[in-house]
């Protein structure tokens, strides 16, 4: 019963949250300071994409929003040559909707949605065990800045700073997300330090 209650509260929060918002707090460092374990066992160092905009999305295979994988793949295909990097971060934090092991997740994403963008290993994205990137992003976004459900999206600019947070209910194909992605792509690449 408690799990059902928590799922209902999370769904209500997700549906009533702002669709898009900017960061409100200055934080030290940048997204390029973090790395994820990759789904193939190799590290996914965000610094490998320094100077490129990143769209980082916590995902789940059994969610009502799982079809967003297709729209994310479309964005990747459309903007990859312009520098955009889409990164999926599978998580079992919401409704236990990502119960599978990494190999099964990869097979599902590639087989069902033709995903070719980078996929991290499964990581917690909320709470005390959240991946450090997600703690950093939540701090930058301020109150309510952590994901409240699967398919929450963070857009990182070419300078490694958060530009925007998008709720789960906002499709990657929405005009709002596409507009922000194009603004991020149009940013000049920072000079190497």
Q: Which residues are catalytic?
A: 63
Name residue, tokens 């994403």. Answer: 109
DSSP3 helix / strand / coil % (the chain, rounded to 5): 35, 15, 45
Extended strands (E) in 20-152: 20-21, 35-37, 43-45, 54-59, 85-90
């Amino acid at each position: 019963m408690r799990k059902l209650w928590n799922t209902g509260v999370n769904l209500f929060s997700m549906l009533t949250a702002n669709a898009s918002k900017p960061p409100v707090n200055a934080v030290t460092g940048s997204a390029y300071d973090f790395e994820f374990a990759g789904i193939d066992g190799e590290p996914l160092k965000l610094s490998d994409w320094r100077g490129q905009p990143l769209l980082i999305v916590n995902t789940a295979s059994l969610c009502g929003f799982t079809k967003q994988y297709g729209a994310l793949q479309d964005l990747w295909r459309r903007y990859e040559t312009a520098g955009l990097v889409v990164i999926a971060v599978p998580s079992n934090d919401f409704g236990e909707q990502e119960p599978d092991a990494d190999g099964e997740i990869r097979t599902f994403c590639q087989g069902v949605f033709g995903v070719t963008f980078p996929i991290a290993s499964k990581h917690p994205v909320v709470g005390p065990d959240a991946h450090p990137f997600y703690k950093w992003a939540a701090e930058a976004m301020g109150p309510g800045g952590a994901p409240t459900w699967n398919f929450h999206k963070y857009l990182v600019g070419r300078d490694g700073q958060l530009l925007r947070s998008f709720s789960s209910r906002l499709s990657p194909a929405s005009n709002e997300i596409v507009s922000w992605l194009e603004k991020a792509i149009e940013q000049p690449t920072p000079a190497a330090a």
